[in-house]
């Protein structure tokens, strides 16, 4: 393939610049210029598309007041998912580090029971949050409080929670530390209420977990409506952690 430089040296050696050689040189120069322009436009468009796609996803701080569900007329907001999002993303990301330390995003995309891991984790986060809201309301009615010993245990649990966070999660906290500590406190009260309720019903505590059979019967007595448009934009695996490489096809990332 002839290049600008080969043409230039050829005519230089011949000591002349014919119309044909000049025309060829300018033609190749135009092709190179056009390719550079096309490349620049393509990079710009892809970068813009990445920013657009990313902007469509939920930012937990920015969109904290958006409702992801309504339970008995009460809005469950993005902000209310903070504790369980930090907890579940940390747990699964640590599993991902074992599964493939070179590309932890791969683990988030595997299928279990026909569902993608990130989808299962999203269900767990929302399910636990709704579960805790319902049981905390019942615990208040039953005047459930923590003893001095239980409060001391709670402080240790809160300390452990913060110490176990991944470094990048500290940079992407979805809410204030005080707000999240309050959620951990409520979870402790819920756990105590759940234990008492299990004893009263003669069932296991596990059956009253968010995905337990006995809890499912309780849940049917309440009005629960999920806000699909918001939930679809909730990109679990990229909320309090981040994977660097952007995938144009599915909007997913990968941190190597």
β-pair partners for 224: 71
Least confident of 33-47, 137-151, 190-204: 33-47
User: For the residues 218-234, what does the mean pLDDT come to?
Assistant: 97
Q: Where are any strands of DSSP class E within the chain? A: 67-71, 74-77, 111-112, 115-116, 224-226, 245-246, 253-254
DSSP character for 58? Answer: P
Which token pair is 53? 């796609």
Q: What is the pLDDT of residues 139-188, one digit of tens each?
A: 999 999 999 999 999 999 999 999 999 999 999 999 999 999 999 999 99
Does 56 have pLDDT greater than 60? Answer: yes
Phi, psi of 171 (to 5 degrees): -80, -15
Least confident of 18-22, 125-129, 193-197: 18-22
Does 211 have pLDDT greater than 90? Answer: yes
Give the whole-angstrom CA distance, residue 233 versus residue 87: 20
> What confidence tier does 44 reach under pLDDT thresholds 50, 70, 90?
low
One-character DSSP codes across 168-217: HHHHT-SS-HHHHHHHHHHHHHHHHHHHHHHHHHTS-SGGGSTT-HHHHH
Q: Which of 71, 191, 65, 198 is CA-nearest to residue 126?
A: 71
Mean pLDDT for all residues in the chain: 86
- By the 8 A CB rule, do 186 and 194 touch? no
Q: What is the pLDDT of residues 106-118, one digit of tens each?
A: 999 999 989 999 9
Q: What would you report as the CA-atom Rg of the chain, rounded to the nearest whole angstrom?
A: 28
Does 46 have pLDDT greater than 60? Answer: no
> What confidence tier does 217 reach under pLDDT thresholds 50, 70, 90?
very high
Give the whole-angstrom CA distance, residue 256 versus residue 136: 40
Q: Which of 77, 87, 60 is CA-nearest to residue 176?
A: 60
Q: Which residues contact 111 (CB under 8 A, 6 or more apart)?
A: 117
Does 93 have pLDDT greater than 80? Answer: yes
pTM exceeding the 0.85 threshold for the entire prediction? no
* Domains of the chain by residue range: 4-52, 67-254
Q: At what angle do helices 82-99 and 177-201 cross, to 10 degrees?
A: 90
Q: Which of 211, 209, 150 is CA-nearest to residue 185?
A: 150
- By the 8 A CB rule, do 242 and 57 touch? no
How confident is the model at residue 249, as a pLDDT? 35
CATH topology of domain 67-254: Triger factor/SurA peptide-binding fold (1.10.4030)
Give the whole-angstrom CA distance, residue 254 versus residue 256: 6
State what percent of residues in the chain have pLDDT above 70.
Answer: 76
Does 91 have pLDDT greater than 80? Answer: yes
How confident is the model at residue 235, as a pLDDT? 96
How confident is the model at residue 95, as a pLDDT? 97
Does 98 have pLDDT greater than 90? Answer: yes
User: For the residues 25-51, what does the mean pLDDT come to?
Assistant: 63
């Amino acid at each position: 393939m002839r290049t600008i430089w080969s043409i230039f040296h050829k005519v230089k050696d011949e000591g002349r610049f014919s119309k044909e050689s000049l025309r060829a040189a300018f033609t190749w120069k135009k092709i190179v210029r056009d390719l550079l322009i096309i490349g620049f436009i393509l990079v710009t468009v892809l970068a813009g598309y990445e920013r657009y796609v990313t902007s469509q996803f939920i930012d937990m701080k920015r969109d904290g007041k958006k409702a992801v569900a309504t339970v008995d007329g009460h809005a469950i907001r993005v902000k209310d998912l903070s504790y369980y999002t930090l907890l579940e993303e940390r747990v699964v990301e640590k599993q991902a580090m074992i599964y493939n330390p070179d590309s932890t995003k791969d683990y988030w995309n595997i299928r279990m029971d026909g569902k993608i891991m990130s989808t299962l984790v999203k269900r767990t986060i929302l399910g636990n949050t709704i579960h805790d809201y319902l049981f905390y309301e019942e615990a208040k009615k039953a005047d459930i409080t923590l003893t001095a010993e239980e409060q001391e245990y709670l402080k240790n649990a809160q300390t452990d929670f913060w110490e176990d966070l991944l470094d990048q999660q500290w940079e992407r906290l979805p809410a204030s530390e005080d707000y999240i500590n309050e959620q951990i406190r409520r979870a402790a009260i819920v756990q105590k209420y759940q234990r008492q309720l299990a004893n009263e019903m003669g069932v296991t505590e596990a059956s009253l977990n968010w995905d337990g059979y006995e809890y499912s019967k309780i849940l049917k007595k309440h009005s629960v409506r999920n806000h699909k448009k918001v939930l679809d934009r909730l990109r679990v695996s990229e909320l309090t952690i981040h994977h660097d490489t952007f995938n144009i096809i599915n909007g997913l990332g990968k941190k190597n």
